[in-house]
């Protein structure tokens, strides 16, 4: 593998930082799909409430992230050269302001036709002026916001479906899960240098998983919660020491990210017998038999992450069955067929829940224990990436375009 950091086009953007809350990582500032933005569009189409629409070169399903007046994506070059790239667009105009090659690899397509070589989502640290990109086994890197390569690392591992999970930033370290057939561990890197701070190997048996870790606050301390094959584990994010773990039998190839609330972590257990479990996060050691509060076995997602809003947990299966659960007890409030297939994770913003199907249809619901549909909106093109919310707008990536949706300033 040959590492490159050649900036093809960089246009400096001069202007104020984002007016409101940024969306700097997968599932936003909290990692749980919530935004405090207001004034978001309820309805849109190809001709309504589109502030701008720009083509995105190559193929990638990394979700857009928004920080300091730019929208960031990764992509694999369209010319089959194995070029893995970082892209940035001006929030106000949609103009491309950066196109930087980060890695060049021999492989030109994902082993899974539904996946891509650029599926993990970047992480933006505006304070330190750094962008972190992750391409699974193909490489992890930090760049300046001008596209200059600061450091790069490789974490080789073998999976069936390519790359998937995104890294998380915790204080001065970048943390990622590495889950393959051949090796599995969680690793923390010095965010400034890429040097390894700690590495904790997962216990056997191991297998592939594609989930994004989540930082949670339990009592007076932070925990890093990471879903792997067959079990999920809470770690001390400063040292990598294991705090507690929960097992779920044969579940593997886990994609959904966890969510946390009411003192519990909500976990989608992956393939074989998919389920959602709620686990109290105040235990030590193996808590499978003592801290599992409830288990749902019907309608569990294989790809979209859960969404916790107040006392309700919302999930959507890959086949489009949405379910609202009592987050404390697991009791079902409602279950409805939205239609279509789903990979993107839902978002809660402006008092609404946005479910985005692979077919480009977003169903907007009112949160609550009764099903209430507010709108159904369609865009052209497939949508497997999760939307971002920032600057009073929704940012949606389709297979070949990036949209900013909202009212024109």
The CATH number of the domain holding residue 370 is: 2.130.10.10
Return the pLDDT at 3: 37
Tell the residue number behind the tokens 């389920």, with chain if given.
275
Q: How confident is the model at residue 7 (pLDDT cuts 50, 70, 90)?
A: very low
Mean pLDDT of 387-403: 97
Mean pLDDT of 3-11: 32
**Cβ neighbours, 10 Å, residue 166:** 27
Where would I find the H helices in 239-315? none
Mean pLDDT of 362-375: 98
What is the distance between the alpha carbons of residues 133 and 78, in angstroms, rounded to a whole number? 19
Instruction: Write the pLDDT tens digit of every residue in 250-276.
Output: 777 788 999 999 999 999 998 877 899
Tell the residue number behind the tokens 């069936």, with chain if given.
160
What is the distance between the alpha carbons of residues 60 and 117, in angstroms, rounded to a whole number? 6
Res 326 pLDDT > 90: yes
Return the pLDDT at 19: 37
Return the pLDDT at 158: 84
Query: Burial of 19 by CB count in 10 Å (0-12 exposed, 13-18 middle, 19+ buried)?
Result: exposed
Res 219 pLDDT > 90: yes
Rounded to the nearest integer, the mean pLDDT of the chain is 91
Task: Output the CA–CA distances (angstroms, integers) from residue 263 to 125, 256, 266, 367, in the order listed.
Answer: 28, 19, 10, 21
Q: Which residues constitute the domain of residue 85?
A: 2-405
Instruction: Write the pLDDT tens digit of every residue in 188-204.
Output: 999 999 999 999 999 88
Mean pLDDT of 31-43: 97
The string of DSSP codes covering 316-384 is E-TTSEEEEEETTT--EEEEEE--S---SPPEEETTEEEEE-TTSEEEEE--SSS--EEEEEE-SS---
Return the pLDDT at 159: 82
Mean pLDDT of 276-300: 96
**Number of separate domains in the chain:** 1
Return the pLDDT at 6: 32
Q: How confident is the model at residue 209 (pLDDT cuts 50, 70, 90)?
A: confident
Counting residues of the chain whose pLDDT is more than 90, the rounded percentage is 80
Return the pLDDT at 18: 35
Buried b (16+ CB within 10 A) or exposed e, 176-204: bbbbbeeebbbbbbebeebeebbebebee
Where would I find the H helices in 133-189? none
Q: How confident is the model at residue 409 (pLDDT cuts 50, 70, 90)?
A: low
Q: How confident is the model at residue 109 (pLDDT cuts 50, 70, 90)?
A: low
CB–CB of 391/66 below 8 Å?
yes
Res 16 pLDDT > 50: no
Res 11 pLDDT > 50: no
The mean-pLDDT minimum among 111-125, 162-176, 343-357 falls in 111-125
Mean pLDDT of 319-325: 97
Return the pLDDT at 12: 27
First to last CA, the chain: 45
> Residue 272 — φ and ψ, nearest 5°?
80, -85
What is the distance between the alpha carbons of residues 289 and 73, in angstroms, rounded to a whole number? 41
Return the pLDDT at 9: 29
Instruction: Write the pLDDT tens digit of every residue in 143-192.
Output: 999 999 999 999 988 887 778 899 999 999 999 999 888 999 999 999 99
CB–CB of 395/71 below 8 Å?
yes
Strand partners, 223: 216
Residues 51, 55, 60, CA angle at the centre, nearest 5°? 115
Mean pLDDT of 279-306: 96
Return the pLDDT at 20: 53
Q: How confident is the model at residue 108 (pLDDT cuts 50, 70, 90)?
A: low
């Amino acid at each position: 593998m040959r590492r490159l950091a050649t900036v093809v086009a960089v246009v400096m953007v001069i202007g104020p930082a984002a007016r409101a809350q940024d969306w700097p990582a997968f599932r936003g500032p909290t990692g749980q799909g919530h935004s405090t933005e207001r004034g978001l569009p309820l309805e849109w189409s190809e001709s309504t409430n589109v502030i701008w629409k720009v083509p995105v070169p190559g193929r990638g399903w990394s979700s857009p992230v928004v920080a300091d007046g730019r929208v960031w994506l990764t992509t694999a070059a369209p010319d089959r050269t194995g070029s893995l790239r970082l892209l940035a667009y001006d929030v106000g105009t949609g103009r491309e302001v950066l196109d930087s090659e980060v890695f060049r690899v021999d492989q030109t397509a994902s082993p899974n036709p539904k996946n891509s070589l650029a599926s993990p989502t970047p992480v933006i640290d505006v304070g330190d002026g750094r962008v972190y990109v992750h391409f699974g086994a193909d490489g992890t890197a930090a760049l300046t916001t001008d596209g200059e390569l600061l450091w790069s690392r490789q974490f080789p591992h073998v999976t069936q479906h390519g790359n998937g999970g995104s890294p998380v930033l915790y204080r001065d370290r970048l943390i990622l899960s590495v889950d393959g057939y051949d090796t599995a561990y969680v690793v923390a890197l010095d965010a400034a240098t890429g040097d390894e701070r700690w590495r904790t190997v997962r216990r056997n048996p191991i297998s592939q998983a594609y989930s994004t870790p989540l930082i949670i606050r339990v009592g007076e301390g932070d925990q890093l919660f990471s879903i792997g094959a067959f079990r999920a584990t809470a770690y001390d994010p400063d040292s990598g020491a294991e705090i507690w773990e929960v097992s779920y039998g044969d579940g593997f190839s886990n994609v959904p990210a966890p969510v946390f609330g009411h003192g519990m972590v909500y976990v989608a257990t992956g393939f074989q017998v998919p389920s959602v479990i709620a686990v109290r996060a105040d235990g030590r050691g193996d808590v499978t038999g003592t801290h599992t509060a409830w288990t749902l076995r019907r309608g569990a997602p294989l790809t979209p992450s859960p969404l916790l809003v107040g006392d309700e947990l919302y999930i959507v299966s890959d086949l489009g069955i949405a379910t609202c659960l009592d987050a404390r007890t697991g009791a079902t409030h409602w279950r409805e067929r939205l239609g279509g297939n789903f990979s993107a994770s839902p978002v809660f913003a402006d008092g609404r829940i946005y479910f985005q199907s692979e077919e480009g249809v977003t169903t907007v619901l009112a949160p609550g224990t009764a099903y209430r549909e507010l709108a159904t909106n369609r865009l052209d093109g497939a949508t497997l990436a999760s939307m971002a919310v920032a600057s009073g707008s929704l940012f949606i990536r389709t297979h070949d375009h990036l949209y900013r949706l909202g009212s024109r300033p």
